[in-house]
């Protein structure tokens, strides 16, 4: 900007003399012709000619204007010229020592008012130079003001100027008005603090005393919502007036909160998964020995007691499954599912879950497409959300389950674009505060006296494991909507889906099995069961011992059953060695973690070669037969 303004300072200064008196004109031109003046003076006698010159390509830098001309006289002469060339310096030369006229012309933009006969050459030259410089300064200021005004008006951040004493806004841009949710005219004349949280007034005063500062405050909108604002404060940008720059950081804060929540959930999930793994090993030992007791029971009472132990371990196992589901480590049996059909099958159970005071409304479209999920897990999601809705409506209400297609065009940071199936469970219950909403998916978090705090965390884990998304809308006394979004499977993929089935298997066998597990009790119980089924069982406490046994053994080992996480040498090492030395032998991995533990340990076996602890010996027997029959065929 400065460069533009200074550009015309180089070279001669163009002066236009507008004077119809030949004596005055000759005098002024004579005074200006000195070489040191560096001026080029053009002379016209009429205002009309002057206006023409002003419209030329190279207009004058300054106009020396006599007010009384043949075609115009008095103030009107100046006024017409100024309107035609508002950015040109004008110096009025008058034969009238009229102070009132002088003040008026200068006030309206003339740079000076000189009375004829009262100045000599030096005074005139000085007046001309001052006039041009003043005009350039004015122009620079005007351009600067235009720039500042443009920034002010177009800024995406809110800008407010307010009185230091009263705090009342004297200037506010549109962004600031949008931020506080009122028209701009309404914001001007009010205090910014009127829209903030009450505690902020003191903070504001403290910053005012400091002179500058930045921080955050909440703005409460008339529609009940609130926005977090990052502010930057500078005092006395104008005498007695302060400046506040405001930036809406609500979305950023929400994203940060989501990230924190997500990281917390991941951490809790890992912890839950770890606990469940150890717990599963213990449960495996208990249920294994209970099954052996049951098999070897001589009296019905003994069998019944063993049955009770097995039943208790199954309940405990159910709890660990929920923990694993939250930690996304539950074994999934993925199928292409029609969620509407799953819902249809669950309908009666949903009605049983809620009390008579609750009305149930199920809206389920037909042929919505398929999702890839575990049916029992999906059922658990529906039942957990139903239970949650019921608990939110102790005095009755309406529970609505909606299943529909949802096309996400993108732009949602939490969910990529694509086609989804939306399963929404809504209630008209007590609703939740934002604080409660932020914690509902944490395991063991509950607002109920009797709740386990695992219901919604299980839902969360299952949805995430199924590569879906879950969203919650709720407000106190306005009910809640839990929306689960599961990716719809492409149609061609649905057509290729193989039919799944089960086959009854004989659990007896006589092959040789190498059993590797560092849990001594579980290994012993499992070996005892397998020997009871007719197998020859070789046992090893870790991977290293397993290799030594395998290498020493001359016979055929039909199957190796190995834990994954073990000291000295893990399941991967065992598997690699067996594949190398006994390529005909099958390998069945067992783990307290889910089957996604195998890839993590570099094990490239299909899910059919994996069994998650705790397993029943029945299940183990069936799996062994399935693998052996498959390899022999």
Three-state SS sequence of 373-406: EEHHHHHHHHHHHHHHHHHHCCCCEEEEEEEEEE
117 binds other proteins (CB under 8 A): yes
Helices 339-353/375-392 angle, 10° precision? 40
Q: How far apart are CA 88 and CA 60, in angstroms?
A: 7
Interface with other proteins (CB under 8 A), residue from 3, 7, 10, 23: 23
| Closer residue to other proteins in complex, CB, 74/453 | 74
Least Cβ distance, residue 60 to other proteins (angstroms): 22
CB-wise, 112 or 427, nearer to other proteins?
Answer: 112
Question: Residue 21, interface with other proteins (CB under 8 A)?
Answer: yes
Cβ 96 to other proteins, closest distance in Å? 7
Residue 270 corresponds to which tokens in the numbers above? 């890992």
Residue 168, classed as helix, strand or coil, is strand
Q: Does 121 bind other proteins (CB under 8 A)?
A: yes
d(Cα 130, Cα 119) in Å, to the nearest integer?
A: 15
Closest to 512 measured CA to CA, from 624, 423, 620? 624
Residue pair 13/40 in contact (Cβ under 8 Å)? The answer is: yes
- HSE of 161, CA atoms in CB hemisphere, 13 A: 12
When the beta carbons of 123 and 311 are compared against other proteins, the nearer one is 123
Closest CB 115 distance from other proteins, rounded Å: 8
For other proteins, the closer CB: 120 or 356: 120
> Can you tell me which of 53, 59, 68, 512 binds other proteins, judged by CB under 8 A?
68
Q: Residue 122 or 214: which CB sits closer to other proteins?
A: 122
Interface residue with other proteins among 43, 53, 104, 116 (CB under 8 A) is: 116
Q: Does 95 bind other proteins (CB under 8 A)?
A: yes
Stretch that binds other proteins, among 117-125, 211-219, 522-530, 586-594 (CB under 8 A): 117-125
- Residue 22 sits in the site that holds other proteins (CB under 8 A): yes
Among 9, 38, 71, 73, binds other proteins (CB under 8 A): 73
Q: How far apart are CA 610 and CA 588, in angstroms?
A: 6
Whole-Å CA distances, 47 to 69, 91, 124: 7, 14, 21
CB 453 within 8 A of CB 441: no
Closest CB to other proteins among 99 and 467? 99
Part of the chain binding other proteins (CB under 8 A), chosen from 18-26, 291-299, 481-489, 622-630: 18-26
CB of 124 to other proteins, least distance (A): 10
Question: Which range touches other proteins (CB under 8 A), out of 112-120, 186-194, 260-268, 619-627?
Answer: 112-120
Q: What is the nearest approach in angstroms of other proteins to the Cβ of residue 120?
A: 5
Give least dist CB 49 to other proteins, A: 18
Does 599 participate in binding other proteins (rule CB under 8 A)? no
Closest of 462, 442, 343, 345 to residue 400, by C-alpha: 343
Backbone angle region of 497, left / alpha / beta, with phi > 0 → left and psi within -120 to 50 → alpha? beta
**What is the smallest separation between the CB atom of 43 and other proteins, expressed in angstroms?**
13
Q: Which is nearer to other proteins, 46 or 184 (CB)?
A: 46
- Rounded to whole angstroms, what are the CA distances from 132 to 58, 101, 110? 15, 21, 11
- Least distance from other proteins to the Cβ atom of residue 34, Å: 6
Minimum gap (Å) between residue 35 Cβ and other proteins? 8
Our finding on whether 20 is near other proteins (CB under 8 A) is yes
Q: Is residue 99 a contact point for other proteins (CB under 8 A)?
A: no
CA angle 53, 55, 58 (to 5 degrees): 75
Verify binding: residue 545, other proteins, rule CB under 8 A.
no
* Binding flag, residue 126, other proteins (CB under 8 A): no
Distinct helix (H) and strand (E) counts, the chain: 21, 22
Q: Smallest distance, Å, CB 134 to other proteins?
A: 24
Q: Does 157 bind other proteins (CB under 8 A)?
A: no
Is residue 90 within 8 A of residue 109, CB to CB? The reply is yes
28 vs 180, beta carbon nearer other proteins: 28
In the complex, the smallest distance separating the C-beta of residue 38 from other proteins, rounded to whole angstroms, is 14
Which token pair is 44? Answer: 């016209």
Choose among 277, 311, 320: nearest CA to 458: 320
Q: How far apart are CA 607 and CA 609, in angstroms?
A: 5
Is residue 100 near other proteins by the rule CB under 8 A?
no
Q: What is the Cα–Cα distance from 371 to 341, expressed in whole angstroms? A: 12
The smaller minimum CB distance to other proteins, of residues 120 and 435, is found at 120
Contact between 96 and other proteins (CB under 8 A)? Answer: yes
Distance CA 46, CA 21 (A): 11
Residues belonging to the chain:
633
Q: Which helix (H) or strand (E) holds 321?
A: helix 300-326
CA 596 centroid distance within chain: 28
Residue number, 20 or 576, with CB nearest to other proteins: 20
CA distances (Å), 261 to each of 257, 321, 442, in order?
Answer: 6, 22, 9
Closest to other proteins by CB, 31 vs 106, is: 31
Specify the residue, 119 or 218, whose C-beta has the smaller distance to other proteins. 119
- Size, binding site for other proteins by CB under 8 A: 24
For the CB of residue 20, give the shortest distance to other proteins in the complex, in Å: 8
Give the Cα separation of 592 and 1 in Å (integer).
72
Task: Based on the shown chain and the rule CB under 8 A, indicate whether residue 122 belongs to the binding site for other proteins.
Answer: yes
- With tokens 């799944």, the residue in question is 500
x-marked contacts with other proteins along 24-63 as a string, rule CB under 8 A: x-xx--xx--xx----------------------------
Q: Which two tokens stand for residue 545?
A: 């011992």
List interacting residues with other proteins (CB under 8 A): 20-24, 26-27, 30-31, 34-35, 66, 68, 73, 95-96, 115-122
């Amino acid at each position: 900007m400065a460069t533009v303004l200074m550009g015309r300072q180089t070279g001669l200064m163009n002066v236009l003399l507008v004077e119809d008196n030949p004596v005055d004109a000759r005098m002024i031109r004579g005074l200006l012709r000195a070489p040191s003046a560096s001026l080029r003076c053009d002379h016209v006698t009429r205002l009309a000619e002057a206006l023409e010159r002003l419209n030329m390509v190279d207009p004058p830098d300054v106009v020396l204007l006599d007010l009384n001309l043949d075609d115009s006289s008095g103030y009107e002469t100046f006024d017409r010229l100024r309107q035609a060339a508002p950015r040109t310096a004008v110096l009025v030369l008058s034969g009238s020592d009229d102070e009132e006229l002088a003040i008026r012309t200068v006030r309206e933009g003339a740079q000076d008012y000189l009375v004829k006969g009262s100045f000599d050459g030096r005074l005139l030259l000085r007046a001309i130079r001052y006039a041009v410089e003043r005009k350039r300064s004015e122009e620079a200021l005007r351009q600067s003001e235009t720039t500042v005004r443009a920034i002010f008006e177009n800024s995406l951040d809110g800008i407010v100027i307010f009185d230091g004493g009263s705090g009342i806004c004297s200037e506010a841009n549109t962004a600031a008005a949008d931020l506080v949710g009122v028209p701009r005219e309404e914001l001007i004349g009010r205090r910014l603090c009127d829209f903030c949280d009450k505690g902020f007034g003191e903070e504001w005063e403290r910053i005012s005393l400091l002179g500058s500062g930045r921080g955050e405050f909440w703005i409460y909108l008339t529609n009940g919502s609130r926005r977090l604002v990052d502010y930057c404060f500078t005092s006395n940008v104008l005498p007695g007036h302060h400046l506040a720059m405001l930036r809406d950081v609500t979305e950023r804060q929400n994203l940060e909160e989501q990230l924190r929540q997500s990281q917390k959930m991941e951490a809790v999930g890992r912890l839950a998964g770890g606990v469940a793994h150890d717990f599963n090993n213990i449960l495996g030992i208990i249920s294994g020995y209970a099954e052996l007791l049951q098999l070897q029971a001589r009296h019905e009472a003994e069998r019944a007691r063993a049955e009770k132990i097995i039943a208790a371990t199954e309940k405990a196992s159910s709890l660990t499954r929920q923990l694993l589901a939250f930690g996304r480590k539950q074994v999934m049996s993925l199928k292409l599912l029609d969620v509407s059909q799953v819902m249809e099958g669950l309908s009666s159970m949903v009605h049983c879950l809620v009390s008579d005071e609750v009305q149930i409304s199920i809206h389920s479209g037909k042929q919505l497409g398929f999702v890839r999920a575990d049916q029992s897990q999906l059922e658990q999601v529906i039942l957990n959300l139903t239970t949650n809705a019921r608990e939110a409506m102790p005095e009755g209400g309406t529970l609505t389950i909606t299943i529909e297609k949802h096309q996400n065009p993108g732009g949602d940071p939490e969910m990529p674009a694509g086609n989804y199936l939306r399963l929404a469970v809504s209630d008209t219950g007590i609703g939740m505060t934002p604080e409660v909403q932020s914690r509902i998916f944490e395991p063991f978090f509950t607002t109920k006296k009797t709740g386990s705090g695992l219901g919604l965390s299980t839902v969360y884990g299952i949805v995430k494991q199924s590569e879906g998304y879950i969203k919650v809308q709720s407000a106190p006394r306005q009910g809640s909507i839990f929306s689960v979004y599961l990716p719809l499977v492409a149609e061609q993929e649905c057509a290729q889906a193989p039919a799944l089935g089960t086959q009854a298997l004989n659990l007896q066998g006589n092959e040789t099995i190498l059993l590797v597990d560092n849990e001594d009790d579980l290994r012993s119980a499992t070996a005892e069961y397998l020997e009871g089924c007719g197998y020859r069982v070789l046992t090893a406490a870790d991977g290293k011992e397993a290799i030594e046994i395998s290498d020493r053994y001359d016979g055929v080992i039909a199957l190796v059953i190995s834990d994954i996480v073990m000291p000295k040498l893990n399941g991967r090492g065992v598997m690699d060695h067996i594949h190398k030395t006994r390529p005909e032998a099958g390998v069945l991995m067992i783990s307290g973690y889910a089957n996604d533990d195998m890839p993590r340990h570099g094990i490239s076996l299909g899910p059919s070669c994996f069994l998650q602890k705790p397993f029943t010996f029945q299940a183990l027997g069936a799996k062994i037969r399935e693998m052996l029959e498959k390899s022999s065929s």
